[in-house]
Structure 1
Amino acid sequence: MKPELLELLLTREMPFGKYKGRVIADLPGGYLAWFARQGFPAGELGQLLALMHELDHNNLVGLLEPLRRRGKGASD
């Protein structure tokens, strides 16, 4: 896995659907699980959704917290 993908989870927004405009890291687990069952979209978006699903499913979302804090500190 490329470490920069973790940063993209915190910046890339969902481009369509019920959660359009929400960053991928903030999507609900049930929505990610639905994609896992139905199939992830092609390309980078699908890759990011699949990664976020894995983090959520394996209770590893905490790995994003240092990146979140670093991002908030940069804008303050």
Structure 2
Amino acid sequence: MAPNEELLAAINQIMPYGKYAGRRLLELPEPYLVWMHGKGFPKGKLGQQLALIYEVKLNGLEGLLKPLLQRR
């Protein structure tokens, strides 16, 4: 997957479990991602995507990516 495709996939990925199940990863609250970062992201693709979204939010780039969210 090209980097831009990975980013699009990550921001539109649906959180499959937990308190925020059903939300797209870009829609997760930053404090939740900070908590997950401290706990350790899960292994695999979802963990990589969560880590990417964590970095996006940490660096204040969420606003640039919101227009790329796909309509449900």
- Whole-Å Cα distance in 1 between the matches of residues 19 and 37 of structure 2? 16
4+ long deviations beyond 6 Å: none
What is the RMSD of the two structures over their aligned residues, measured on CA atoms?
A: 1.8
Identity %: 45
How many residues in Structure 1 have an aligned counterpart in Structure 2? 71
Pick the structure with more helix per residue: 1
Q: Rg: which structure is higher?
A: 1
Contact 1:6 1:64 in 2 (8 A): no
What TM-score comes out, normalization by structure 2 length?
A: 0.85
TM-score, length of structure 1 as denominator length: 0.81
Higher relative CO (Cα under 8 Å, sequence separation at least 6) belongs to 2
Does residue 8 (structure 1) correspond to residue 5 (structure 2)? The answer is no
Q: Counterparts of 1:1-76 in structure 2 under 5 Å?
A: 2-68=3-69, 71-72=70-71
Alpha-carbon distance in structure 2 between the residues aligned to 1:65 and 1:13: 15
